[in-house]
Structure 1
Amino acid sequence: MIESILREIRIHRSFLITTHENPDGDAVGSSLALAGYLKRLGKDVTVHFCDPVPELYRFLPLADSVRQDLPDQDFDVCFVLDVGEFRRAGKLVNECRRIGMFINIDHHLTCDRFGTINYIDSAAAASGVLVYRLIKAAGHDIDYDTALALYTSIITDTGSFRYSNANPEAFAIAGELVATGINTWSIAEKLYESQPRQRLELLALALSTLSFSANGDCASITVTLDMYEKVGACAELTDGFVNYPRSIRGVEVAVFFREIQPHLFKVGFRSKGKIDVSSLAAAFGGGGHHNAAGCTLTGDLAEVRKQVFDHLETAL
């Protein structure tokens, strides 16, 4: 599989790189790492996200080159990273007719096989790990900028190496990346110690919605459109909110209800390991990993909460 991808890189010139809506650290880090690598090979590279790069990750090299539009040109290859479902790459990519082939690189347990080549490994800690494997298989070193992006990918998707996906490979790769000279404290400070005031104000509102299932093994929090307006915050500031209810002793599954439009909610699930939340999300048309998954549901908040908690009660 890796050799097939490297062959396409060798024989083609123009590349498009994209990832999922509302990109997280793995989506941004893996995409920018791959972009930097292809640029070093002299390739013509465009990085397109349907949503802007969150402010949190704008310190990464090439972050300012990411576009929300698509240039009027043909692309030999489109790399689609970390999306899980092709639709999450956004309308422009989904409907583009100027792409020769798609290469799907992902580590989601539930993943569409939409690519001409599908490089999927759910045992990988992050999609950045798969990009790392490609670069190393090609016989090339990891430069400083690529190391910075890959380290961000891995540290964010493993929860700073706290999650169960923090396997020996993730630690080994991180050690090699640190050896390139990247400053791990500087990265951690940018990711975790430089929060805008609005994020904490929004978190305070979200925690006030904390609720539990009857036996206490499921907990949830909610963010509504009114909350964003009240504190002047935006959706990207909610990254990591779901970990607060999951951190409660006795809670096995945490749920985060995030209103994205009136009567439309993103629902995020996080598990401590006993429950496969990817199957929970799949029951509602979503997907993800064993311990982290999500879906989108329509209805008012009370209806959506009842749907989810009724299903969770059966699962738990």
Structure 2
Amino acid sequence: MDDILLELEHAKKIGITGHIRPDGDCIGSCLSLYQYIKNNTNDSIVDVYLEYIPDNYNMLEGMNEINHDYQKEEEYDVFITLDCGSIDRIGKADKYFTKAKKTICIDHHISNQAFADVNHIVPDASSTCEILFGLMREEKINKSIAEALYTGIIYDTGVFKHSNTTEKTMNIAGKLICKGINFSKIIDESFYQKTYIQNQLLGRCLLESFLVLDKRCIITSVSRRDLEFYNATTKDLDGIIDQLRVTKGIQVAVFIHELDFREYKVSMRSNEIVNVSKIASFFGGGGHIKAAGFSMKGSLHDVINNVTRHIEAQLNNLEVTN
């Protein structure tokens, strides 16, 4: 972080963003770095840009200071992307990134394309928040920064149950707890707590799910009409893929939701054998070995057929060449 702060030392305007449809690690990393920079630089303007965030992250300090509309016309001295594997994943914040005098990328996605001027990518880290903890001076991490970092770590590790959890991850979590954070409340509110609408959608998705590939893959989907029926948004879909993944006997879970007419977002989770990052990269997406996603155009039937073909190839230890 000393090197990065050196880049920021003479910067009067600093911008920060994460990926589209921000999740816990994206939100936690953006808010923690925002606060850290504000606390350790003099007279710098620091702006954070993210799409709208679910209400269950409202306990984090700085939430009301995030820009959601991208209406400002700014040219930043330094613009930082966090938890974002490729430039197309920063969405509308691209206009700030391309105009910035200097760009920095901090990320842990194995598929990261090192698209910034300065890239700090650690693929074996559990989360971007874990990387940021290692870059920050521990004595300068206050309670609110610790809360944001802890939020990101528990999200990407599934509250320390995913295989990306390491001894280092647990040691960092312990140090963050020592900052006086209410870790139980953070876990409940940001990870487990669901609204009634979210529970309704989850129930519908589970009822309409089906098994393929010798019952080793589970698939379900949500249409725009479904979201309208429940008066829900894509923010209400959090947690569905993770519930599918823990189905007994499953190697891969696939959750598909409709973005627009004949356009779908595909989320995948793997338990052991399948590298879903490889599949996502094939279709222009990215992620991790056991958690990845991408967008695809076509009919729902086409999407399912394309995805399952690649999953089947890996389950049978075959290569898909086209």
CA distance in 1: counterparts of 2:18 and 2:191, whole angstroms? 23
Aligned-residue sequence identity (percent) comes to: 32
For residues 34 and 96 of structure 1, do their structure 2 counterparts lie closer, same or farther at Cα, with a shift above 3 Å needed? Answer: closer
State the Cα distance separating 1:10 from its structure 2 match: 2.5
Q: Work out whether 1:293 is the aligned partner of 2:289.
A: no
Residue of structure 1 equivalent to 2:59: 59
Residue of structure 1 equivalent to 2:77: 76
CA distance in 1: counterparts of 2:136 and 2:25, whole angstroms? 17
RMSD: 1.5
State the Cα distance separating 1:140 from its structure 2 match: 4.2
- Whether the 8 Å CA contact 1:252–1:274 is kept in 2: the answer is yes
Normalised to the residue count of structure 1, the TM-score between the two structures is: 0.94
State the Cα distance separating 1:215 from its structure 2 match: 0.8
- Give CA deviations for 1:184-206 in whole Å, capped at 9, x if unaligned: 12112212453211001111111
Residue of structure 1 equivalent to 2:136: 135
Residue of structure 2 equivalent to 1:200: 199
CA distance in 2: counterparts of 1:272 and 1:38, whole angstroms? 37
Normalised to the residue count of structure 2, the TM-score between the two structures is: 0.93
Residue of structure 2 equivalent to 1:146: 145
Alignment of 1:213-224 (within 5 A): 213-224=212-223
Q: Work out whether 1:277 is the aligned partner of 2:276.
A: yes
State the Cα distance separating 1:16 from its structure 2 match: 0.2
For residues 114 and 97 of structure 1, do their structure 2 counterparts lie closer, same or farther at Cα, with a shift above 3 Å needed? Answer: closer
State the Cα distance separating 1:225 from its structure 2 match: 0.9
Unmatched segments (≥5 aa) in structure 2? 316-322
State the Cα distance separating 1:97 from its structure 2 match: 4.9
CA distance in 1: counterparts of 2:224 and 2:256, whole angstroms? 11
- Whether the 8 Å CA contact 1:6–1:134 is kept in 2: the answer is no
For residues 96 and 115 of structure 1, do their structure 2 counterparts lie closer, same or farther at Cα, with a shift above 3 Å needed? Answer: closer
State the Cα distance separating 1:119 from its structure 2 match: 0.2
Unmatched segments (≥5 aa) in structure 1? none
- Give CA deviations for 1:256-307 in whole Å, capped at 9, x if unaligned: 1111111111111111132111111112121111111111111111111111
State the Cα distance separating 1:70 from its structure 2 match: 4.7
State the Cα distance separating 1:9 from its structure 2 match: 2.4
Alignment of 1:196-275 (within 5 A): 196-275=195-274
Residue of structure 2 equivalent to 1:309: 308
State the Cα distance separating 1:77 from its structure 2 match: 0.5
Q: Work out whether 1:89 is the aligned partner of 2:90.
A: yes
State the Cα distance separating 1:96 from its structure 2 match: 5.3
Q: Report SS of the residue matched to 2:125.
A: coil
Q: Report SS of the residue matched to 2:239.
A: coil
- Whether the 8 Å CA contact 1:19–1:89 is kept in 2: the answer is yes
Amino acid at match of 1:298: K
Aligned residues: 312
Residue of structure 1 equivalent to 2:26: 27
- Give CA deviations for 1:109-134 in whole Å, capped at 9, x if unaligned: 10121111000001111101121122
- Whether the 8 Å CA contact 1:86–1:94 is kept in 2: the answer is no
Amino acid at match of 1:90: G
- Whether the 8 Å CA contact 2:76–2:96 is kept in 1: the answer is no
CA distance in 2: counterparts of 1:10 and 1:77, whole angstroms? 10
Residue of structure 1 equivalent to 2:166: 167
For residues 97 and 291 of structure 1, do their structure 2 counterparts lie closer, same or farther at Cα, with a shift above 3 Å needed? Answer: closer
- Whether the 8 Å CA contact 1:151–1:177 is kept in 2: the answer is yes
Q: Report SS of the residue matched to 2:240.
A: coil
Residue of structure 1 equivalent to 2:114: 113
Q: Report SS of the residue matched to 2:52.
A: coil
CA distance in 2: counterparts of 1:195 and 1:208, whole angstroms? 18
CA distance in 2: counterparts of 1:154 and 1:135, whole angstroms? 15
